[in-house]
Structure 1
Amino acid sequence: MRLRIATFNVENLVSRNAYGPKARPQTGPALSLFDFADPEMRDHIQAAIAVALEDDERLATALAIAETRADILCLQEVDGLGVLAPFLSNYVHALGDIRYGHMRLEPGNDPRGIDVAFCARKDLVDDEARIRSRSWREATFADLGVHDDDLAAMGIAAESRVFNRDCLEVDLDLGETSLTIFICHFKSTGYGPRSGSPVLRRAEARAVRAIVERRFGAGWREASWIVAGDLNAATSAILPGGAIVDVSDSGLEPLLDDFAVDPARSLPPGERWTYFHRETAEGRVLAERHVQLDRVLLSPALAAANPGARVEILRRGLPYRVPLDPAHPDRSIGHLATRADRYPRIGWDRPRASDHCPVVVEIDLPPAPA
């Protein structure tokens, strides 16, 4: 059975005008130009700006999803089913011929309320009971045996929750075969306390590995499972001009060392990126790099059954400020803004589909063992 599986961080698909500790960051620039004497009027104007911006951005997000032609979507940064369902109905289904349903989402641990979500082609299964899900949001470091001295040195107790968002486990009974997917969104490098360290992401990676090994026991290598999501760490970086440097301490080692297989390794090294990072200070660019934060990792059995798995990274939803060719020497506005290689209505920085790229992997699922 052939399936196309996509992971996509859709960047704050939220139903609220304000979330977590701050309002939508997209509305700030326009509001800064006006002085509102009446706070209530300011709130109304902010909501109106948010709605207008959201329509442009969600059209682009839907175009990216439609281009994946995925049978299964693993999404990150979704506010809840109350926003995911109308987004699929009014945006994605209006652009493509695939109809999605079978949605699964559980409130996770992120303070902004952005969660991981699953949805699949409606005709993939004929009975909701054939899709089962479980959230691991309550699991602690102690529960999964991943607490260590590095975490203790950061003041993190063994009884703390290990996942900063969630690990959503989804089982699919597909008749002649089956598949288990673990959807993750690891700790960010730049948001909230404890940011910037690979220690937490390494603990999350170890926790996912422990969940897989407990679930399948000694036969975990022979089972059909996938780990998908925004893992917020890279094992290498592409520098301006195309030079590639290794990242020695990504935190992803527990998942990538003798465990899961990343089929994106079949791509040329200069094509293995899903996110563009730029560091600036006082108007000057200090560093730029293209990195792969988003992955669809295959179990050893799935990797062996799909040695030529097709991998696509879709970049037409990125803003024009992002160079799609890391090796091209011209980073000027004049060059980048005239590429005509993005979706309609994409802007210099916004509107955009997301700051991440969808990753699609096409595989054949082997029959379930007798």
Structure 2
Amino acid sequence: MFFNAEDAMRLAVYNVENLFDRARVMNLEDWAAGKPVLDRFSELNALLGKAAYDQADKSRMGILMTELGLGKQDQGPFVLLRRNRSGLLTRPRTGPLTITADGRADWVGSLELRDEPVNHEAVLNTARVIHDVGADVLAVVEAESRPALAEFNRIMMPAVGGTPYRHVMVIDGNDPRGIDVGLMTGWDHRIGRMRSHVDDRDDGDRLIFSRDCPLFEVSTPGGQIITVLVNHLKSKGYGKPAESDAWRQLQAARVADIYRELVAAGQTHVAVVGDLNDTPDSAALQPLLVATDLRDIATLPGHEDGGYPGTYDASAAGNKIDYILLSPALQARTRASGVFRKGMWPGARAKRWPAYSTIRKPMEAASDHAALWVDLDL
């Protein structure tokens, strides 16, 4: 872990893109091939969740199920329909399936994405990134669950010569795909008070966070309290762009409100971290990046980005979607910050950045995301 002052702390955030298992459709090398599946999955899930189904709903459900490979059975190539009790549909020997339920209360079950194991070398490379970044406090994005993150910490960190973190916490969020956010801390940085915002709703009673915005209070060896808000805002990956932009802006505004509430309560050492799924100039992120006094570490003196402004994929400016945002008190305590890309695929021909020798093809990359870190002298 990082120590070169009496009460110094390295804070980092890393989108690990799942540790052991990942939705099969999200493991495809060609994102364009998976997007239509996720679009249909999202639409069908929304329809299945309605209290009452009209004839148009039933017709559309049948079409979507057939397109997802559920026309003849409950398991398609990417999607699984769990029916713990029948009543949702019938599949006649001839003709298309028929939705027989009149609403969500008429059947028991769920629609799920099918998982498959993540490439083993990719899992090892993920552990290498975490070991080499050496954070005292690490926010993790896209962890399957607390048991999965704890198992990864216990087994994979020693496998690459690292020390397991002492504290591992993930609070289940709203995403049915099992991509939650959590926090790992070293022996001298204890997780204290935690608060989930998983049930926060807008004026129309819709859930605000597609995952969660958990609050973690971390105590340092010197007795300081750092409050960390971990985020994974709505993706641009599927759904209508205007709707996802609006939802992401709603989420950013709620995070900003939570931050202001903390400041009003006297908490000055606050960090907002995570995959915000949008660029600094986007309208969606303005409630956080412009309407508060939080500042992105990328804008602070001494930040090292390796010549690439982005944090995802090719790391161009349009790929800047991961953030560590600091309150004024933490901005004043910043000593250095940077982007760690050795676990990312560097490109087939022109190697954009130094990568681990164990990354020989894209599937072996630890993640499409870089890890971000900041050193704080507290």
TM-score norm. by structure 2 comes to 0.68
2:284 aligned to 226, 238, 251, which one? 251
Write out aligned runs for 1:352-367 (5 A): 352-365=365-378
Identity %: 31
Tell me, yes or no, if the aligned pair for 1:14 and 1:80 is still in contact at 8 Å: no
1:137 aligned to 198, 202, 207, which one? 198
Match of 2:70 in 1: none
What is the root-mean-square deviation of aligned Cα atoms in Å?
Answer: 3.1
* 1:304 matches 2:310: no
* 1:229 matches 2:274: yes
Deviation at 1:56, TM superposition (A): 0.9
Match of 2:12 in 1: 6
Hey, what's the Cα distance between the residues in 1 that align with 2:150 and 2:144?
Answer: 11
Query: Deviation digits for residues 28-50 of structure 1, max 9, x if unmatched?
Result: 99xxxxxxxxx99x99xxxxx95
Q: Which amino acid aligns with 1:92?
A: M
Match of 1:206 in 2: 253
Hey, what's the Cα distance between the residues in 1 that align with 2:350 and 2:30?
Answer: 28
> SS state of the match for residue 271, structure 1?
coil
Hey, what's the Cα distance between the residues in 2 that align with 1:201 and 1:335?
Answer: 34
Write out aligned runs for 1:80-119 (5 A): 80-119=145-184
2:343 aligned to 307, 317, 337, which one? 317
Hey, what's the Cα distance between the residues in 1 that align with 2:183 and 2:124?
Answer: 20
Deviation at 1:24, TM superposition (A): 4.6
Tell me, yes or no, if the aligned pair for 2:294 and 2:328 is still in contact at 8 Å: yes
1:63 aligned to 128, 144, 150, which one? 128
Distance 1:305 1:341, change over 3 A: closer
Write out aligned runs for 1:1-370 (5 A): 1-15=7-21, 18=23, 22=25, 24-25=27-28, 50-51=116-117, 54-125=119-190, 131-142=192-203, 158-174=204-220, 176-192=223-239, 197-217=244-264, 219=266, 223-235=268-280, 247=281, 249-257=282-290, 258-265=292-299, 266=301, 267=303, 270-276=307-313, 290-306=318-334, 309-321=335-347, 333-336=348-351, 341-365=354-378
Deviation at 1:134, TM superposition (A): 1.4
Deviation at 1:140, TM superposition (A): 0.7
Q: Which amino acid aligns with 1:164?
A: S
Hey, what's the Cα distance between the residues in 1 that align with 2:155 and 2:365?
Answer: 18
Deviation at 1:23, TM superposition (A): 7.4
Distance 1:303 1:23, change over 3 A: closer
Query: Deviation digits for residues 261-309 of structure 1, max 9, x if unmatched?
Result: 112113478433211369xxxxxxxxx7652211111111111233xx3
Q: Which amino acid aligns with 1:161?
A: L
Distance 1:313 1:27, change over 3 A: closer
Q: Which amino acid aligns with 2:259?
A: V
Kindly name which structure, 1 or 2, has the bigger radius of gyration based on alpha carbons: 2
Query: Deviation digits for residues 54-100 of structure 1, max 9, x if unmatched?
Result: 31110111111111110011001111012111111221233244330
> SS state of the match for residue 350, structure 2?
helix
Tell me, yes or no, if the aligned pair for 2:11 and 2:138 is still in contact at 8 Å: yes
Deviation at 1:191, TM superposition (A): 2.9
Deviation at 1:341, TM superposition (A): 2.3
Hey, what's the Cα distance between the residues in 1 that align with 2:264 and 2:169?
Answer: 25
Match of 1:330 in 2: none
Deviation at 1:103, TM superposition (A): 1.4
Tell me, yes or no, if the aligned pair for 1:276 and 1:289 is still in contact at 8 Å: no
Q: Which amino acid aligns with 2:137?
A: I
TM-score norm. by structure 1 comes to 0.70
Distance 1:196 1:6, change over 3 A: farther
Deviation at 1:194, TM superposition (A): 5.8
Unaligned ranges ≥5, structure 2: 1-6, 34-73, 79-114
Match of 1:152 in 2: none
Q: Which amino acid aligns with 1:139?
A: D
Distance 1:23 1:208, change over 3 A: closer
